[in-house]
Amino acid sequence: MTWLRRLAAAALGLLLLAVLAAGAGWWLLGRYMETPGPLAQEQVIELERGSGLAAIARRLEDAGVIDDARVFRLAARLTGRDRKLRAGEYRVPAAVSPRELLDLLESGQVILHALTVPEGLTTSEALAVVAADPVLTGPMPEEPPGEGTLLPETYHFPRGTTRIAIVEQMQVDMSRLLAELWAGRQADLPIETPEEALILASIIEKETAVPDEYGLVAGVFVNRLRRGMLLQTDPTVIYALTRGEGPLGRQLLRRDLEVDDPYNTYVHAGLPPGPIANPGRGALAAAVNPAETDYLYFVADGTGGHAFAKSLAEHNRNVAKWRRVRDGG
């Protein structure tokens, strides 16, 4: 039975070598995973959608993030992380180790770009901002959204996001915010629907650029609506003349105030038939929760804000002051 003992000893020796080799292999793998990479300084790397492990590894090697694409692929497979990597645009730190790199690519923490759509733009103007963004992709929507349906905001998005997706997000956000604010509106407002609140908010947004005045401006318009007074707001006349396609490009003239158009609130009572711009959160909140005030009038005061008045006589004095400021008197 000597040969059996020798065979068993040989088998045991081979098994021991295999165990040692495996242990050494896992030790080397662990060491590789923690070894700082060759990247000298932080770099932005884009991994295209649909890229498999081989393509990702080649891209990382070409960018100098890793030394050897084949070794990186093997390490990813042996650790079971080869199917968890996400495409996108990443900010890769200097000397990133393979483990840190795989953590980053698994996390999906891609770079987010920002698009700011200011309050008070018309839909035409807001869409021009979206169209001009250099990071967004694809065409604009075939059918432009309605006036006042886009929420002005700063939107954050990864590279590869389409313009249509951003426009849809703006519409969804406006719809949700309007519904939320309408649910918490003051009682007994002279507006009956969320759509009327949106119209009023768009006028507030165009009348003042001072957030602290939103409530007061809203209060003036609500008081005028309750009394059946004409709103007599210049931005609605401008919209009647331009339909939101761009700035008027000149001062309003007295004859403009007589234009027979449903948006002209110097001629037609109540709210205009639709929004005249895309209002932000502040103007929307003011439209449904206006300040309680006795003011019925306001005019620019020459400092960027407005002078408010309870009576026409007081208002006329404020107008005279404003004209002196305007004319340099």
Distance between first and last Cα of the chain: 122
Closest CA to 63 of 87, 32, 36, 42: 42
Angle at 131 between CA 130 and CA 132, to 5 degrees: 90
CB burial of residue 143 (10 Å; 0-12, 13-18, 19+): exposed
Q: Could you tell me the residue ranges of all domains in the chain?
A: 32-110, 112-172, 187-327
Whose tokens are 């080397």? That residue is: 28
d(CA 300, CA 303): 8
Helices 214-227 & 194-207 angle (0-180, nearest 10): 120
Whose tokens are 């884009």? That residue is: 46
Write the single-letter amino acid at 188. D
pLDDT in tens, the chain (329 residues): 454 445 444 444 444 444 444 444 445 657 777 888 898 999 999 998 888 889 999 999 999 998 888 888 888 888 888 888 888 999 999 999 989 999 999 888 999 999 999 999 999 999 999 999 999 999 999 999 999 999 999 999 999 999 999 999 999 999 999 999 999 999 999 999 999 999 999 999 999 989 999 999 999 999 999 999 999 999 999 999 999 898 888 888 999 999 999 999 999 999 999 999 999 999 999 999 999 999 999 998 888 899 999 999 999 999 888 888 777 75
Distances (CA, A) of 314 to 138, 197, 228, 293, 302: 54, 29, 20, 15, 17
Q: For residue 76, count other CB atoms closer than 10 A to its CB.
A: 22
SS3 50: coil
pLDDT at residue 28, rounded to an integer:
63
Q: Which residues contact 223 (CB under 8 A, 6 or more apart)?
A: 293, 294, 295, 296
Q: Compute, in degrees rounded to 10, the torsion defined by CA atoms 69, 74, 76, 80.
A: 160
d(CA 170, CA 301): 34
pLDDT at residue 29, rounded to an integer:
59
pLDDT at residue 37, rounded to an integer:
85
Q: Options 3.20.20.140, 1.10.1040.10, 3.30.1490.480, 3.40.50.150; which CATH number does 32-110 get?
A: 3.30.1490.480
d(CA 164, CA 167): 5
pLDDT at residue 303, rounded to an integer:
82
CB contact at 8 A, 135 and 109: no
Helices 214-227 & 281-288 angle (0-180, nearest 10): 40
